[in-house]
Homo-oligomer: A and B are copies of this chain.
Amino acid sequence: MTAMVEFTVLPLGTPSTSARQYVAKALKALKDAGYSYQLTPMGTIVEATTIEEALKAVTVAHNSLFEEGVQRVVTVIKVDDRRDKPGTRAQGKVEAVLSELRKLEGKD
C-alpha cells in the first residue's frame, strides 16, 4: 500500500503575487509535524502509506497558511494510491519511467 500525494497551496487575497513565504511556512509546518517532503517547482510531494496519512500531511500544510493571516486558501491535491505494488517509492516511479524511455529511444 502506497499513497503518494502532491499538493499546491494557493493563498487568495494576499497583497503580493509571491507565495514563497506561505509555501515556506507550509514546509516548516510539515517538517515540524514529522513529515518528509519533496519540493518541486510546482508543488510539494509527500510519500505516505495510506490516503488518510497523505491527506493529514496536506491538511497540516494547508492550515499553516491561516496562521499567517491568510483568509482564503485553495489547495489542489493529487493522490496516487496503489495497492497492488506495496512500497513503491517516489524515486522508483521516476526511474521506472526513465528506464522505459531509454527503451523507447533505443528503438528509434
Q: Is there contact, CB below 8 Å, between B105 and A28?
A: yes
Partner of A41, one of B4, B77, B82: B4
Partner of A17, one of B17, B63, B72: B72
- This chain: copies in complex: 4
Main secondary structure of the interface of A (DSSP, over half): mixed
Give per-residue flags for A81-99: 1 if the beta carbon is below 8 A from chain B beta carbons, else 0.
1111100001101101110
**Residues in B whose Cβ lies below 8 Å from that of A59:** 51-52, 55
CA distance A100 to B84 in the complex (A): 27
Q: Is there contact, CB below 8 Å, between A76 and B78?
A: yes
Q: Is there contact, CB below 8 Å, between A75 and B79?
A: yes
Give per-residue flags for A46-88: 1 if the beta carbon is below 8 A from chain B beta carbons, else 0.
0000011001001100110010000111111111111111000
